[in-house]
Structure formats: C-alpha cells, structure tokens
C-alpha cells in the first residue's frame, strides 16, 4: 500500500488546493480565537478534519494518515509532554516544601518591579533554557516561576511565550540551524551568520515590546535604561557568537551575558517607581502591615538548588557528544560516554510505524521512513526528572510526599497533555499527506514578492509543527529552490525561514498548551491564543520587512 505525495490534488489549480489545505488551520484559529473552544476539543476536531481531507482530497489510503497521527501522538507524549510533566513537577516540589517563598524573596531582593522581573526571568533565564534544552522546557519553567512570583497566570504565560521569540532559532544547542544543513547542503555556519544578521534586530526590540505589552508606553519609559541593557547586551552577543562561533552557543552565551549584566546594573540603578499589577495593588492596600523576611545565603542557595541542578543537567544533556551517547549512538573511545551509551542504547527504542514506514513516497520518488522516537534517557524531560530526584534528597522530602506531588502533577496536566498529543498528531497528518507543502508551494509562487513572504513559510511551519527545527527541515529546500527562481539569495531565504519561524512559536498549539499547563491555565488556551496571535503577526511583519530590505536594499548584509 503506497501513497505518492500529490501536492496539487486539484490538478492545475494550486491555489484551490492550498485553500483546501488551509481549512484545518483556519478551523483551529476559529475554534480558539472566536469560538473559545477548549484547546483539547479544538485539537481533536482539527485532527479529524485533517484526516478527512487527507483521505478524500489527497486520496491517501485511510490507514496511512491514521498511523501518521499515532506517530505524532507518541512524539507529543515523548519528548514534549514528558518535559511539561517533569518541569511542573519540579516547580511544585519547591512550592510544597516552602522553598519557593525563599526563591520569590531572592528575586524581589534584586528588584520588586514586575517589569524587571520579567526581563530577568522570562527573557534572560528563558533564553538560557531555550539554548540548553528547547522543546517547551523554557516556557514551562519560566511561566511557573513567574506565577510563583505573583504574576497573573495569563500574563505569565503570554509574557514567557513572547520573550521566547528571541532565542528559538538557536535553541537546543543550535539544532534548528544544524538541521537545515543536511537537506540544503548549505553550511550551518553560513546559515548561522545570516540568521545572526536578522534576529539581533528582533532580540534588541523584544525586551522593549515585552514591557510595553505588560505595562504600557508610559511605564515602559521608566525602565528604559534596564531594557536597553538587557536587549543590547543580548543582541550584541547573539550577533558575534552566531557570526564567529557558529549556531551552538548564541543562546546560552547571550542569555548569560544579558542576565549577569542586567543583575549588576540593577545593583546601581533603580526605577523611580515600583510597578505591580493592579490586582496586587488592591491586595497590598488591604494589608495593614507587610513584613519581608530575611534569609541567609545558604537558605537562598538551597531554595534555588533544584533549578541550579536542573540548569546543570539540561546543559549536560545538550552537549553533542553526550546527547549522542544518551540515545546509544556514540562511537568514540571515552570510557564514561561508552558506559552512558550502553545504558542509553538499552532504553532507546525506534520501532517502525506499522503500515506507514516507507509507504509514503515523496516528490523525488524516495520512500519516507517513519519511526516512533522513544529516547527515554536522551529526552530533556528525563534530565529534569533526575533533577527532581536529586532535589528530593537536597530538600529532604519523603518518598511518600515526592510521589504524592508527582501524582497531583499528572492529574492536573491530563487535559494539556491530551491537547499536545492531538495537535502534534494533526501536524504529522498535515506533513505526511502533503498539505503543508501545498501551502508552501502557493507562497513560493508570489514571484518578486517572495523575499517578503519567505518568512511566512517558517512561521507557518512552526505554527503547525511547534518546532523551528522541523520547519527548517520541512521547508529548507523549498526556500532554497524558490529563492533561486526569483533571484533572491538562497542563504537569505534559509535564514528567513528560521527567523520567521521564531514568531510562530508563541501561537503554536503545542506552545500554548505547554504555557497553560505550567501557569495553571488548563482550559484557558483560547484566551492565551487570543493574547499572543496579534503579537505573533506583528513580529512576523517585522521579519518580513527586514528580509525584503536585505534582499533589495541591504544586500551588503548577506555574508
């Protein structure tokens, strides 16, 4: 049973085919933004619509899209769902043991201002986690931290998604850029250079935009010096590392520089007034006396230890050689890595997807492999779980309480995990049937306007797949070929795909579900989607303008 991908099911009518392929996406937008349907229900209906179109319009044998959906569902559980469960679990351990009160106090000791806390936690610390791990961990952890600090859940989730725009292209130790090298044949370093000449403009703007969204223009002016320190230090480091070191370290180093420089700056500079949200001001006015407890450096270090351990382990998990050993593919001679490789190999399973593997034929006539990716040790969620186990001993939690909190976490996250499972399944059906490529081909037909619309392909790919890496693999070659046909520099088109993709991350159903789960907003996904969609489109427009100018006026910026 074979299926040859047909990207134009209505022969000679590309745009009609594209309109039909767009139906599941439009339905999902409508269900969340207008109907305000619970995300898991919207995801289930969207998946069913995609299955029907794949069978009736794209003429796939029924078993193929169904099995493709199971492949996506498994990926939704591991690694994505696993990251959410372990991240929220670790956060809840600090809350249950009272350690988060100390964490909150330590952040407040740097600044009580919510605007500056957002820069430190959502922007800088979130970028570090994105660079080290990616795949949902940054948003899950930082959203939980902000809620714990006193942010309203919707703002905590929305701000973290918005802040996550800057680092996505270089996330997970440069995975999105490195992944594009294979299918396109273009050097990862060259792609990194070009992305590093686009994203710094967005990176320096994001902190400013973030605070405007939070507090309005007037309140933003009060902390403009801190915003400039945060954004410029990040953007400058991002430019130099991406252009002279490659795609692996821009996020990690930019985040650390931004975090350290801003923290030092706040030791010497304070805003004229402290900003709190309106609901906090009401609560504060009702309190007669408010006392701030003091803690020793040892107590603060102990409270932060779960997240310090988490950071160390996620960084280790992201090192390329160790990452290879964790999934049983290490071929070097290091004794320790060989031992890890042995264990990783035992608990890594990549079985073929029944009735799907090599049954879908791509446009080049090559069969597409389909496997269930079950990398139990190599998953970032496992690193976070190990951090939670170590935390059990550091904070002296009983196993009974440890498992009790884990059970509570699973119970709270059942609907967010279901949402992720169905939306990833939907993405896989869109991909295997060819619907995503149909949409891409329609955009590629925009001729001389293609440089402007090139980032839209990346945005669309990340919205559907939830991953800049997947979007780059999916559309990299198409971007390259389309650019050559219209006289656009192919390297610019590849960079535009990745840069445009970062603006789609905040509205990806997977990201929305992750943020809601971490912030305690299960069932409120439609509200968060309505919050982020306008910002996503605005930032996408900026990337489109930058790309168009670099293609026509600022060609000297292309390496």
* Least confident segment among 89-93, 258-262, 472-476, 485-489: 472-476
DSSP label at 555?
A: G
Cis peptide leading into 315, omega within 30 of 0? no
**pLDDT confidence of residue 133:** 62
CB 58 within 8 A of CB 6: yes
Count of Cβ atoms closer than 10 Å to residue 516 Cβ: 29
CA distance 459 to 468: 9
Q: Are 205 and 292 in contact (CB under 8 A)?
A: no
Q: Is 88:77 a contact under the CB 8 Å cutoff?
A: no
In angstroms, the CA 340 to CA 329 distance is 10
The residues that bridge with 349 in the sheet, in sequence order, are: 374
Q: What is the mean pLDDT of residues 116-121?
A: 93
Q: Name beta bridge partners: 371.
A: 352
pLDDT for 416 = 77
Q: What is the 3-state secondary structure (H, E, C) of 157-171?
A: HHHHHHHCCCCHHHH
Please, which residues bridge with residue 3 across strands? 360
Q: What local confidence, expressed as pLDDT, does residue 179 receive?
A: 74
DSSP state of 434: T
CA dist 28 and 37 (Å) reads 9
Helix (H) or strand (E) holding 361: strand 360-361
Q: Which pair of tokens denotes residue 490?
A: 């192919």
- Encode pLDDT of 4-14 as tens digits: 988 899 988 99
Q: Are strands 3-4 and 360-361 parallel, antiparallel or unpaired?
A: parallel
In 46-179, which ranges are E strands? none
> How far is residue 103's CA from residue 310's CA, in Å, rounded to a whole number?
15
Condensed to tens digits (0 to 9), the pLDDT of residues 299-334 reads 989 988 988 888 788 778 878 789 889 988 888 888
Q: How far is CA 230 from CA 210, 239, 316, 463, in A?
A: 12, 15, 26, 28
How far apart are the C-alpha atoms of 50 and 426, rounded to whole Å? 7
- How far apart are the two ends of the chain, measured CA to CA in Å? 46
Distance CA 542, CA 522 (A): 31
* Residue 287 in this model has a pLDDT that exceeds 80: no
One-character DSSP codes across 172-190:
HHHHHHHHHHHHH---HHH
Closest CA to 115 of 199, 229, 202: 229
Q: Which long-range contacts (CB under 8 A, 24 or more apart) does 208-212 make?
A: 209/162, 209/535, 209/539, 210/118, 210/119, 210/122, 210/123, 210/159, 210/162, 210/163, 211/115, 211/118, 211/119
Q: How far is CA 449 from CA 140, 439, 462, 544, in A?
A: 37, 16, 21, 10
Q: Give the DSSP H or E segment for 492.
A: helix 490-502
Whether the per-residue pLDDT at 247 is higher than 50: the answer is yes
pLDDT higher than threshold 50 for residue 285 = no
Handedness of CA 11, 16, 20, 22 (dihedral sign): positive
Greatest alpha-carbon pair distance for the chain in Å reads 74
Q: Which residues lie below 8 Å from residue 320, measured CB to CB, with a gap of 6+?
A: 173, 248
Contact of 428 with 437, CB cutoff 8 Å? no
CA–CA distance, 112 with 155 (Å, rounded to integer): 17
Rounded distance between C-alpha atoms, residue 44 and residue 253, angstroms: 40
Element (H, E) at 241: helix 224-244
Q: Alpha-carbon distance 37 to 176, whole Å?
A: 32
pLDDT of residue 183: 67
Half-sphere exposure (Cβ direction) of 32: Cα atoms closer than 13 Å: 29
Q: What is the pLDDT of residue 279?
A: 65
What would the pLDDT profile of 15-48 be if each residue is shown by its tens digit?
999 999 989 988 988 887 788 888 788 889 999 9
Model confidence pLDDT, tens digit, residues 46-103: 999 999 999 999 999 999 999 999 998 988 888 778 877 887 888 889 888 988 788 7
Give the residue carrying structure tokens 């160390």. Answer: 312
pLDDT of the residue at 135 = 62
The confidence score (pLDDT) of residue 207 equals 95
Q: What is the pLDDT of residue 130?
A: 84
Q: Rounded to whole angstroms, how far apart are CA atoms 118 and 125? A: 10
Q: Tell me what percent of the residues of the chain surpass a pLDDT of 90.
A: 38
Whether the per-residue pLDDT at 248 is higher than 80: the answer is: no
């Amino acid at each position: 049973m074979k299926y040859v991908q047909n990207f134009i099911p209505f022969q000679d009518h590309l745009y009609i085919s594209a309109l039909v392929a767009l139906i599941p996406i439009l339905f999902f937008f409508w269900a969340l933004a207008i109907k305000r349907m619970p995300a898991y229900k919207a995801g289930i209906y969207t998946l069913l619509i995609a299955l029907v179109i794949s069978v009736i319009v794209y003429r796939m044998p029924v078993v193929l899209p169904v099995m493709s959906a199971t492949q996506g569902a498994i990926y939704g559980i591991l690694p994505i769902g696993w990251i959410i469960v372990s991240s929220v679990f670790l956060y809840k351990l600090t809350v249950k043991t009272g350690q988060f009160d100390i964490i909150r106090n330590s952040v407040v000791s740097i600044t009580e201002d919510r605007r500056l806390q957002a820069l430190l936690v959502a922007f800088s610390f979130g970028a570090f986690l994105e660079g080290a791990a990616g795949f949902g961990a940054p948003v899950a952890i930082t959203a939980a931290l902000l809620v714990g600090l006193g942010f309203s859940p919707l703002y905590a989730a929305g701000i973290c998604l918005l802040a996550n725009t800057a680092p996505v292209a270089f996330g997970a130790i440069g995975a999105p850029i490195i992944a594009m090298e294979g299918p396109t044949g273009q050097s990862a370093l060259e792609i990194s250079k070009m992305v590093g000449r686009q994203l710094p403009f967005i990176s320096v703007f994001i902190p400013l935009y973030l605070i405007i969204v939070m507090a309005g223009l007037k309140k933003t002016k009060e902390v403009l010096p801190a915003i400039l320190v945060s954004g410029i230090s990040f953007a400058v480091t991002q430019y130099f590392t991406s252009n002279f070191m490659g795609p692996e370290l821009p996020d990690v180093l930019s985040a650390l520089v931004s975090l350290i420089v801003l923290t030092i700056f706040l030791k010497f500079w304070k805003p004229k007034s402290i900003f709190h949200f309106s609901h906090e001001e009401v609560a504060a006015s009702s309190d007669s006396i408010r006392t701030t407890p003091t803690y020793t450096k040892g107590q603060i270090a102990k409270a932060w230890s779960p997240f310090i351990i988490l950071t160390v382990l996620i960084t280790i998990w992201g090192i390329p050689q160790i990452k290879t050993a964790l999934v049983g593919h290490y071929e070097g001679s290091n004794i320790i890595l060989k031992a890890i490789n042995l264990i990783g190999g035992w608990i890594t399973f990549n079985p073929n997807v029944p009735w799907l593997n090599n049954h879908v034929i791509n446009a080049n006539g090559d069969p597409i492999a389909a496997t269930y990716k079950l990398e139990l040790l190599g998953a970032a969620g496992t690193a976070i779980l190990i951090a939670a186990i170590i935390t059990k001993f550091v904070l002296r939690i009983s196993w009974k309480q440890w498992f009790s909190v884990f059970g509570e976490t699973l119970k709270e996250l059942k609907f967010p995990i279901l949402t992720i499972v169905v939306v990833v399944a939907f993405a896989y059906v869109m991909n295997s049937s060819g619907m995503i490529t149909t949409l891409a081909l329609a955009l590629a037909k925009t001729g001389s306007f293609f440089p402007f619309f090139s980032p839209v392909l990346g945005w669309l790919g990340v919205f559907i797949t939830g991953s800049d890496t997947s979007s780059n693999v999916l559309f990299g070659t198409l971007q390259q070929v389309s650019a050559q046909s219209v006289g656009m520099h192919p390297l610019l088109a590849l960079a535009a795909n990745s840069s445009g993709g970062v603006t789609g991350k905040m509205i990806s159903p997977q990201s929305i579900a992750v943020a809601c789960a971490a912030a305690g907003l299960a069932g409120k996904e439609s509200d968060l989607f309505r919050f982020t969609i306008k910002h996503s489109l605005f930032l996408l427009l900026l990337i489109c303008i930058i790309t168009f100018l670099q293609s026509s006026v600022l060609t000297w910026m292309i390496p």
